[in-house]
A and B are shown apart, each in its own frame.
Chain A
Amino acid sequence: MNVRKSSAGSTVFQLLNYAFFGLFTLSCVFPFYYLFINTISDNNLSATGYITFYPRGIHFDNYLEVLKIKGLGTAAFVSLYRTVVGTVLTVGASAFLGYLFTKKEMWGRQTSYRFVIVTLYFSAGLIPWYITMHNLHLTNNYLAYVLPSIISPFNIILVKTFIESLPPALEESASIDGAGYARVFWSIVLPLSAPILATITIFSAVYQWNAFIDTAFLMTDTKYYTLQYLLYRYLNEANSLANLIKSTQDFNSLNLQNMQTPTSVRMTVTMIVVFPILFIYPFFQRYFVKGILIGAVKG
């Protein structure tokens, strides 16, 4: 009697548990699916809310048409630029500084290290930071996207910890052969640190791609807008978006069914912005997970 009761309870628990995770997972995935089926469905049906669970009137014009909107190409370029250049700079600098900070013979090592790491815990505040950027002429300036990210204390900690865990014999043998610090770094430490560098590369690329607050603070000229910020403007400025669409559209060449609407533009741009993340995530998931676990040990 007793055994039966507990196993029934256990089955109910298992069912509820599976259902809970099923529903939560669905809530994480469905929005992306919903966006996608709307961008490839008949725009009139989509704009009036007729596309809910499956696509209708499939076409891919939206992805071509949206590229004609003034400013979108530039924004895509700015986003790509900051992702590539910003990531290369921060990974390079974190690797090199992380390596230097493992050198016990370095003059002022402890102080320099603390000087960098303290910035994790203290900042002067958003407005003082903005004023500084303004005084440095880094407002409406492409450099503002990549220069401040060169120093990433968290990444430096990760690299330093990783290099310290490598067998010192490898480095020693190279320096006995007469290699200088730069050379040891380039041909020994860098290749050996590939796993940790992959982790911080993927993290900073996602960070750069997703960043938008710096645009809101620093950029007033639309040519410096990133995709993220442009999308934000599209979501909030319905009227100007409608005008923008009108000014871009060539009425003669388009069939009226797939005219761009504010809804179609918003959804298509959202898909374009989200796509790189969805695309890389399955391939790099283990690096993400590794990143948080090392961070948890040392952070």
Chain B
Amino acid sequence: MSSASGTNPGTNAALAASPPPRRRGLANKYKLFLMALPFLVVTFVFFYLPIYGWIYAFYDYFPGIPLAQTEFVGFKWFKSIASNPIQTEEVIRVMKNTIAMSGLGIVTSFFPIVFAILLTEVRTGWYRRIVQTLTTIPNFISWILVYAIAFVLFSVDGGLVNTLLVKMGFIEQGINFLASGNNVWLPMILWYWWKSLGWSAIIYLAAITGIDQELYEAAEVDGASRFRKIWHITVPGLIPTFFVLLLLSIGNLVNNGIEQYFAFQNAMNKDTIEVLDLYVYNIAFANNFPFATVVSMLKSIISVTLLFLANRLSKRVRGESII
């Protein structure tokens, strides 16, 4: 650094003539780094430091007692997944919910394609625009608000659906749709698509606009029907985008998030709504921190492995990485 600042004044004229990147002295490369440094520190604190929290998985930690005063227990909490029958059962139940909900999401991930294709078949411009604008709104409200809407429509006392059903004489008393012991996988995926279908379709709508119009014209000359044009031109045009998103969702198989399930969970539906992240929250706040940390930690490792595998698959099939 000192040599750089030493040579600067004497060679000013020569440097000014050379192209910009080289004209800036050597000091600049460190100066730039120093400007970025505070942000790198913030990144370290909030994204890397939590890895240190993994050591809580190896102690009999209880909130309120400093870690130094708690006993080191090695892999006790890891082993308890297999050795403690209650915990085994719970982890299996939670894994089932996690994979079921992600799986349903993956199986139905062609919905936005269908939505986009059908919407381009709507020939009335203003109608198409209104549909597109209004169906994307739910994507921008929080899951709490989605739950508030579910509450207003489906709650047992005063919910719109129950009121209408009772008035029309289909049922005598309101049905408690939101707090029942029934399996919630299907309602959860329906709420998910209500919220995100319109929005997810946008990317495909853009891709459809990008398809060469001449292909359609040529197909028309050949007498292709509407369906054949969709099947042989539109669909193949959307497959690359679909494939990338599909691989990403496979990479995120265990990351179905917490927000939706947190908002909709209650004492009745807990058995089928608890996905990994929600389970971890629930056991941590029931004060089993070490086990919650173990599950968190294993989840992170599985998730990174899956993403890595999905990326490898993408490289092999498409010759391009997804991340």
Quick check: A35 and B134 within 8 Å, CB to CB?
Answer: no
Cβ-defined contact, A285 with B133, below 8 A: yes
Chain B residues 47 to 83 lying within 8 A of chain A, measured CB to CB, are: 47-54, 56
**A251-299: which have CB < 8 Å to B?**
263, 266-267, 270, 273-274, 277-278, 281-282, 285, 288-289, 292-293, 296
> A194 within 8 Å of B by Cβ?
no
Q: A106-B32, A216-B262 are in contact. Are A147 and B46 (CB under 8 A)?
A: yes
In the complex, are the beta carbons of B122 and A18 less than 8 A apart?
yes
> Count of B residues near A, CB < 8 Å?
92
Instruction: Determine the distance from Cα of A112 to Cα of B29 in the docked complex, in whole angstroms.
Output: 13
Interface residue A228 (Cβ < 8 Å from any Cβ of B)? yes
- Given contacts A121-B323, A216-B281, are A25 and B135 in contact (CB under 8 A)? yes
- What are the interface flags for A146-180 relative to B under an 8 Å C-beta threshold, 1 for contact and 0 otherwise? 01101100000000000000000000100110000
Say if the beta carbon of B315 comes within 8 Å of chain A: no
Q: How far is the CA of A113 from the CA of B177 in the complex (A)?
A: 48
How many CB-defined contacts (below 8 Å) exist between A and B?
252
Q: Which of A52, A181, A281 contacts B35 (CB 8 A)?
A: A181
A25-B258 contact in complex given A52-B164, A124-B54, A236-B266, C-beta closer than 8 Å = no
Of B21, B47, B160, B241, the residue contacting A52 (CB under 8 A) is B160
Q: Please list 19 pairs of residues, one from A and one from B, whose beta carbons are closer than 8 Å in the complex, sorted by A's number.
A: A17-B121, A18-B124, A28-B137, A38-B152, A112-B36, A115-B40, A126-B258, A132-B52, A147-B46, A176-B20, A181-B28, A181-B32, A212-B144, A228-B144, A266-B151, A266-B152, A274-B145, A277-B137, A288-B136
Q: Report which A residues bind B (CB closer than 8 A).
A: 6, 10, 13-14, 17-18, 20-22, 24-25, 27-29, 31-32, 34-35, 38, 47-49, 52, 93, 96-97, 100-101, 103-109, 112, 115-116, 119-132, 136, 147-148, 150-151, 172, 175-176, 181-182, 206, 209-213, 216-217, 228-229, 231-232, 235-236, 263, 266-267, 270, 273-274, 277-278, 281-282, 285, 288-289, 292-293, 296
Apart from A29-B137, A100-B36, A126-B258, 8 more pairs, CB < 8 Å:
A21-B122, A21-B135, A47-B158, A52-B160, A106-B32, A124-B48, A278-B137, A292-B202
